[in-house]
């Protein structure tokens, strides 16, 4: 089942209350947290794994030295004016991989302001974070504001994928406003805001997305890029470009007609950054 982020009651399942009963008249204030830290055996422990509201967290089988967490839908979605927040901290030397069980659906509603989803990711020196959730789908009539704030220590490693799908097959999208702010060693590395869907100016015009209805980014940061910066590279004409950022990182920006093509482009981008990512 898809996780839902909605700005008002739409489906009967939206009546389900979160276990801790945090729904108030202003809507849900959910605050989920993950902290990963090195354990004594060369692996990664999860001293904090706290789901809340629509975000349930499941620890899944770990890889070598790495803890893995899957985001699972606990309810259809918060109601009007809700704010969902997720803070992820990877302590120095730890390794964490975050995935999701299914796409997140931004769902329409009949009342309340836009829904908000604020994600904060902090990665320490010598730590690694793979952030690889499934796409966010902006369903017709929905309104969602998403922010990602990423703070990287100078020797942090990050693979961050974000995919936005504008409307389900054959339907127009809702309004999806997002901002991605990344700092490396306290200096600005990337700051990108987008505004798509009905009411957003010229979002489907020739300067922004044209006919594409899926868009995404793959951000790969690692100390190895300082010695060997990524080379600018057009991966697919009018669809994807890999570019070095003003810091130890490479960004791939992609647009595509659909989610499948978008994933293919971002997977290809990842193969081009593997060597710099793994350089020790």
Distance from C-alpha of 12 to C-alpha of 199, rounded to nearest angstrom:
28
Residue closer to another protein, measured from CB, 194 or 264:
194
Interface residue with another protein, options 29, 168, 241, 261 (CB under 8 A)? 241
Which stretch, 40-48, 68-76, 188-196, 272-280, contacts another protein (CB under 8 A)?
A: 188-196
Q: Is residue 257 left, alpha or beta, with left meaning phi > 0 and alpha meaning psi from -120 to 50?
A: alpha
Kindly indicate which of the ranges 4-12, 50-58, 133-141, 176-184 contains the residues binding another protein, using the contact rule CB under 8 A: 176-184
Q: Is 67 helix (H, G, I), strand (E, B) or coil?
A: strand
Pick between residue 126 and residue 233 the one whose CB is nearest to another protein: 233
Question: Is residue 33 within the footprint of another protein (CB under 8 A)?
Answer: no
Q: What are the Cα distances from residue 267, in Å, to 90, 262, 263?
A: 24, 9, 6
With binding defined as CB under 8 A, does residue 189 bind another protein?
yes
Does 28 help bind another protein (rule: CB under 8 A)?
no
Which of 41, 205, 260, 271 is in the footprint of another protein by CB under 8 A? Answer: 205
Distant-in-sequence, close-in-space partners of 225: CB < 8 Å, separation ≥ 6: 244, 247, 248, 249, 250, 276
Least separation, in Å, of the C-beta of 277 and another protein?
A: 18
- Out of 1, 246, 278, 279, the only residue in the binding site for another protein (CB under 8 A) is 246
- Rule CB under 8 A: say whether 258 interacts with another protein: no
Binding residues for another protein, per CB under 8 A? 179, 181-182, 187-195, 201-203, 205-210, 215, 232-234, 237-241, 243-246, 251, 253-255
């Amino acid at each position: 089942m898809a996780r839902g982020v909605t700005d008002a009651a739409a489906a009967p399942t939206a009546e389900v209350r979160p276990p801790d009963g945090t729904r108030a008249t202003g809507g849900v204030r959910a605050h989920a947290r993950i902290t990963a830290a090195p354990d004594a055996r060369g692996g990664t422990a999860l001293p904090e794994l706290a789901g809340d509201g629509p975000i349930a967290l499941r620890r899944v089988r770990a890889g070598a030295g790495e803890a893995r967490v899957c985001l699972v839908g606990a309810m259809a979605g918060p109601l009007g004016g809700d704010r969902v927040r997720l803070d992820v901290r990877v302590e120095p030397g730890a390794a964490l991989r975050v995935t999701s069980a299914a796409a997140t659906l931004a769902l329409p509603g009949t009342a309340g302001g836009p829904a908000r989803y604020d994600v904060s990711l902090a990665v320490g020196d010598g730590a690694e974070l793979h952030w690889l959730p499934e796409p966010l789908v902006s369903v017709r009539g929905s309104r969602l504001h998403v922010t990602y704030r990423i703070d990287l220590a100078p020797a942090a490693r990050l693979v961050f994928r974000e995919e936005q799908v504008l409307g389900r097959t054959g339907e127009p999208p809702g309004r999806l406003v997002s901002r991605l702010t990344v700092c490396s060693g306290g200096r600005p590395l990337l700051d990108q805001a987008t505004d798509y869907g009905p009411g957003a100016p010229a979002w489907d015009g020739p300067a922004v997305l044209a006919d594409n209805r899926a868009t995404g980014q793959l951000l790969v940061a690692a100390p190895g890029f300082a010695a060997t910066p990524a080379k600018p590279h057009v991966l697919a004409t009018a669809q994807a470009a890999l570019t070095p950022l003003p810091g130890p990182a490479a960004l791939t920006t992609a647009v595509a007609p659909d989610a499948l093509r978008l994933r293919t482009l971002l997977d290809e981008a990842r193969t081009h950054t593997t060597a710099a990512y793994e350089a020790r």
